[in-house]
Structure 1
């Protein structure tokens, strides 16, 4: 067999960029190399043929399996024979006893003399020797017997865990169980009203759903940043997508794969619209340019400039004579489709134009804006017809019926309004409860609308009935395990959205949803004596492993009714503190793993906790925007630090200094004992999620939802470097013990190693199939531990770039499923 060009392992992939033959691990590294070079890998899986030795070994294993099965069969026959003989023997004894009783009864009947003494003897016989009510007892097969003979269940049940569950179920059964796991930014409906496509933020996925059945048919992945716009071609051949990765992509509906990548924009692509002929697409971008793409050759036909601000929306008229764009420059522009020139500019909005839609007769346009108005335009006369001003918030989306008589407007106040364009009146106000709406689409018959929201769900609403009629099926957080019941044609999935879902394999549909748990591991630490590994799990417990041999020991702390978000271990290894979503902190003894104390004082979830070096005090940061200093001798509140204006997300301590991060985009440095804020560091453009301090106290590093890391000089209290490379929010950072390197993890599913002296990315240590939450480096600077969303902890020798092991917090998928009485019938 062909060997990998980088190691002695057998090659299973070839990349035709250079005819490089690669094993599984090095194929992944090679793909990352292409991504870093902004090129596409051309990996093809090799058709592997077995050697004679491998073939003979395989035959031997099969023959050994046959031998095992035959022995098992003989065992069953032998045990069944012994069991039958035992039953027959007991049956024979019982029947013989009953025959004796019958004989004695006949003897009584044949007696010629009946007196009181005889009567007394008969009474005794009836009462003590034979009870006729015993005949009503039912002979049942004991569970142990049933279990022994239920061999077929072993072949019809399968339990799997890990992040590959989703791919396996899709590959083996064409079953889509995973929904979006981040904000849904865009929605499009096919021209025949059968399907809806949705695009998401951090998971970068496009998912295609059957509107009638409310099930996911398939998913498309390839974008490297948020998906911002979608459109079906009218001929039903393609889905076209726009993304923050600056590309437009074309996807084959028939083959369910990527057909082409269209490159030409220099900034985020915000929207895309298709001509009625399906011959071309027009994309809008923050680079203020419209690009026209040929959908036959997949080439750029034209670049059109004219807007002076980012373009947020584009809509091609149904007559293919012009298209309409809305921009941050507060204008709406009409463009000619043949000459690619500007026809007219519509003025009226006083703020950003967020959305435009054109009626099927190509005569009416509707626009929504940050000026809180919906405006109706006559495209033939090129003038404004009417202004709807009843909204109190930004209008983020609009849709118009084919006949141009009605429109829907979507607002940041979580309402969708049905507007009559003929009478210029508001008909109905749909109030969406529970989440913020990001996108809106309406079926061509005007009967339904579909929305995507911040709770990662897609909802279908009946416009005439004025009610929600369904939610698309699927887990809204990572699927981490499944049970496959082949005999029952059923699949049960476990997800971090606290649900257990039952699926019909034949119908590809979700049939039941039960309440479950979340299993993300949020944080992992190692005790200073290298005895234990502790992990905070979303199932409300702390997982405990033996550090030396990585064996699972136990879980503790599960009496709490809230999830654990963070954890800290004392310097003396005697106790740990965990912070919960219910605003409490709990202290546990690490000798007997019992609860020692509960700290109450915060009014929001605990997002970070750290112990002062002498183990006498602890600091916690909370969603209530405060930090609290706790006395660990008296278990009492010592001081409250106020200053952040939004939730505190992280906290770190060295000496008398405390550093906190917040959703207010700042990093603050505090003097713990002086109880003062010494400095506010600004530089991030979004929430600051995590913080770490170098062991020498000279540097701090913060990771943010803006995808960047900033290394701060703590002596001069200023920004030293900004590290750019992660593609999603940075969730964890840690300095090496010599302060020369920084390791970061992100929801982009990667672990990166940076040079802390120069601020340059050294390498990507690993990529996973789910996001990472935290990173911890051992005191000896040898190992790094990464906590993952799929309930695993990855341990690496980070300097040698070598994986040591992966710890799983899921002990038995089968036991988790069997805890639910409603599901136990699947095991029968």
Structure 2
């Protein structure tokens, strides 16, 4: 459960998952009919995906920086991408090659849009100007839909004189248009009618530019000529420039930094538009626009948000009854229901770095970065008491086991002890809870965290000098000094039986200590980044650790093994809290979300978890290896496979190879030979059926990688079975895809192998016959659907005419 809920609580599930990029995806674009998807990533590559077949088509390499924006020119069979490397590249969809590189920007190109039937290109960059480029295409990339519908379009259609140019695409800078702000432009979006476009900047500004029509340009030119004629001695003929055509129509200030902007599809025609804006605060704004003769007017129509944190979560605490959760951030603290995920109240607490519930769960104590302690009432949210407890940040706060007070540790090198007390309220004479300072323990260095032992005998204090000092809690006499970490201990916890101490540090290590002699029982290289919190689960010796790598791990402190890995957060996990019985675990992260993890009743197989961990490590190593290969091939090969190898593709290859061997063995047996138990388990009678069952079980996104890893010695046998499937009209789609991919990959070997000539001759005839029948069937179905659509449209038109027709007039009779 996530305590920062999504904006819409509609049930949804992922239809398909595709793995191809090695880093964060920055932009996505569908083609016109939605059958293909193009994605750009921070790994500098562009990947084209087949949405219907759920597979990748190809990968485009060439950019030297993250991809910022993508456009698909489907009528010209081109993909256009812009990147942080200051270049705009034009890619051919058929040859998967870069046919033109547009240079001329001094900073990274952040957005692009097309005008005049893709004859002009507008780009945004990190500077304050928009650049407009005049494009020309050779006859090879001439758009089939390009038509000249006005006299002014001739100057924007240079295709006619580009047949003599050797380059497929030519771009020439037509001019620049200034934006209203000098901050970095983050992107742009063109309206559906191509008459208005928006440019959003890093300073929360959205500039709305209007493109004047031909009639407006003619009227403006006439006014210019009239003014020139009125001036005596002015011999220059007035001309229209780019700033006369593209004008700033208005500016919208969003309520936060804009992450993305999109125009809403609207049924209204004319000058009315609508948009959706995604803000960095994870909120949405909707605006309504109307084009007028003087510009573009805007009005905010809705603001969708939730009551979650706007900044990273820094501290968290769970009530003893497991009903409430309090979390602290840069300026506020929020009170949540642990079961419904609803935000109950927001407290103005300041920069809270530590917090806890007072025994009874009716009050909350929050320690801030500036050294203040603030006591809040849960029911009303009122601030009952505040005191400047320390001269530095309060990094440690823990309740005493007898629940009569608490202890704080700070960067001012002191540990202070506090007691709860009831004081009379001055107004009505009623008593309210307050805190009072009782004693101070001075340390030799800054305190990073502290913890009481549950038996109240010991107090462990971690210092900035990488050591942990253990004191007797009653006399505050020194007992033990634990050292072994290379960096300061930032988090620790003591088991409920007060025998073990777990510590975590930015050196990525988790250490288990014995509190009887202070010896280190075990040291784990637990995470790939700093360990941020450790918690013992109830009365057991199970330990949960969180890290800046965004992963939660569970350990057994008795046998020193890792139990499981929990993933869910998208950024640094900064804090955690656990219930007294260990059934509820709460984590807060820099992704501004709080996740609640509940103990399930399902049995956990440690060996399976270890296998999954090894698969994850393998995929990381494989991704790094592929990244190195991609960098080595970047200058030689622009196109590559869209998918990447993973543990799932290896398993798919193993299953396919095993099924192929079983099928070959079964078909070679006599009629009286015993049947393979695998065929009985899958309820099939022949080896071919068993192979087809396993072939259908392979995901479309993993098919190509599985075929690629298949040994060539088994390819000829697989081709024979594919011929059988096509002949019997079984698994036509999978069999055809496998056949085409195998021929494309092993083309040289297949051509050289004369033993496969007869097989391919049979495959060609069977594939043509089967696919021809499927094509005819598909055409018949499409024709029937089109007939039904025309019939429905005619009926709806007749109904509209009947409704719109006025009632017949009654004739007046003379009486």
Greater helix fraction, Structure 1 or Structure 2: 2
Greater strand fraction, Structure 1 or Structure 2: 1
Q: Structures share a fold, TM > 0.5?
A: no
TM-score by length of 2: 0.43
TM-score by length of 1: 0.43
